[in-house]
Amino acid sequence: MKLDIMERVKLLEVLPPQGDLITLKILRKLRETLSFSEAELKLFDTSYEYMCPHRSEETGRLVKCENKGFFVAQPTCGMHDELMLPTGEMNLQIPPAALAKTKEIHLGTQALGIAASALKQLNNSGQLTEAHVSLYEKFFPPDDKDTED
């Protein structure tokens, strides 16, 4: 199945976080398959969130520095001359040309069932969004009578 970048991201988001041992092993392999390669990541503008670790006591209250933001490399806080610490948040900016690229994703029978079940559950609970439509239709192609209207 060919999936574009946004379809891969959306599928990663809907996969269940838990299950039995076999399901978890299948999910781990599926997540690795859907993840971005190093070559793909080089095409993206990646930045990481950093925040200043400085704390000071003013008037008996602990006051933390609010200086934080997304940076390509670890910055130094301009107010306190301290290296800022990573928060663990990442921001990907995907160029429009990269958005159109697809990747062939091999889904075994069980992985296909898990992914389809997750998407069907979203649909049945009314939680599908516009961003899920192309992905959903790859798992559940619309009938001709659905598109006649």
For the chain, domain boundaries = 1-43+96-142, 45-93
Arithmetic mean of pLDDT, 11-32? 94
Nearest to 70 by CA among 53, 94, 87: 87
How far apart CA 4 and CA 8 sit, in angstroms, is: 6
Q: Please report how the helices 109-124 and 21-34 are oriented relative to each other, as an axis angle in degrees rounded to 10.
A: 90
The structure's pTM equals: 0.71
Q: Does the pLDDT at position 148 exceed 70?
A: no
Q: Are strands 102-104 and 45-51 parallel, antiparallel or unpaired?
A: unpaired
